[in-house]
Chain A
């Protein structure tokens, strides 16, 4: 017996779901969805869970993460219940529920708090970064107030909290997924399941089955404009930049020759990241489809952060390459560092976290052999 929790629906609304109460359970959304597999039954079943407040059903499901929130279902919903947006809201809800601090809940649900939090963080980071330059006035002043060791240790603590949060979140999700065994179905091996996960990340094979409907907005658009490719660009752009940064960090001092492979990788990845995030922001500002029109501020800011990080990073790259010394460069580097730090620090507490949750869900999905064939 599961107790119905009627208050849950309004809770989900705070994460950005609009009129999903209008749903009358026809199941058009599930029928139209290219991703819902044999027994998966989303989005309809998830709307049901939301209406009745069956929280555990949501949190222990891998199906939730099979959805890319493309919005096909919102287009065909006869009741304008926007199941696509609802699924996106559930992603936020899950991210907020998995991590232990409760910070994500506050940030996702409260617009003002979110703006305040990110601004203060940027300010603190900015001040801190100024202090790293001995020729700045602030440094003398701040070290008088707080000893260097304290600042250094505080930084370590914050990074640890962030790291622990995402590990805790993953563990949380992992235990729930494990508890949710679907029958005695034959399982695929771990290795082949991970292979499938990487295959999906590399090719976006599943994402490509979205937006195939005859009257879909994306149907006749060229591949490079389609959401799956944009998503691919952002994802691999970011991973590429991360790899380049790590290579730089491990192999040499930064800001040296441009012929180093890490350099090429970084440049290429940066271009993809800027292209992808620009397109996403463009679609959002143009409200290309309903799923772009209705988004959450935290998600938007996350995207802006990615774009700014990409753009400022690229600017620095160009400046170094052409030895182009502009007085603004200093500040641009500052902005780049602040935003990058925020992205990393908020990893567990923002949309960014889906980058680890989705692969884990996909792994369990492929392992249980529920694929679409």
Chain B
């Protein structure tokens, strides 16, 4: 492989990693607050793909993007209200099953509404413009993804570390019960968390599908699980960790495909998960916690 090819693949990997990072943040935020693997998160990301297809059919792209972001965010909040909120006091297994149920519902609903046949993802012209640097070529979206990811993460970090809402989020993730006793509006904070997670998933969805060109009801499952792995890899509950995890998995996956091991690229992600959980269960940047007897 020549140097140019390697660089080319790295560029693709970084771009994919950026989209993964944005989805992984959703997992990490929700897990941090509710201790729940939101199995439906990947399907929210998939639904955002369909929203974009349909809104772009009738509106110019800036409006379409706005609609997609808003609708996805609202959907994320609604799912939490309907499927997770009633189970706050239930055992953890129930709420996880509820999340799987939502994922199942979204997949079947979108199969029903949009059929299982892949739908072409519309091209947004400015995203597809090709750039050339020397022998390297890349579409604008490839370069935009990592940059946008970093900017969004910086905004998010500022939000969490500087604002009152952010402080409340940190308090809830440290100790749910105590935060409640201190008068923090738990339901409000959980909604904000799901809103942020879904919004970022929608952005990730636009960037991801622009490069992949089609959406099916099942296109959210695997990326969703991989992004969860990314979140665990970086240390669940830790935002920069999720970003690092997302980029790492994106790059390694792209390289594995380039080397001809495409069937193993998914398996690699899960192998990484299992190894990570065994060697360092708290992830790269996670804090250690001791269970009290």
Tell whether A pairs with B. Answer: no
B interface residues with partner A (beta carbon < 8 Å) = none
A interface residues with partner B (beta carbon < 8 Å) = none
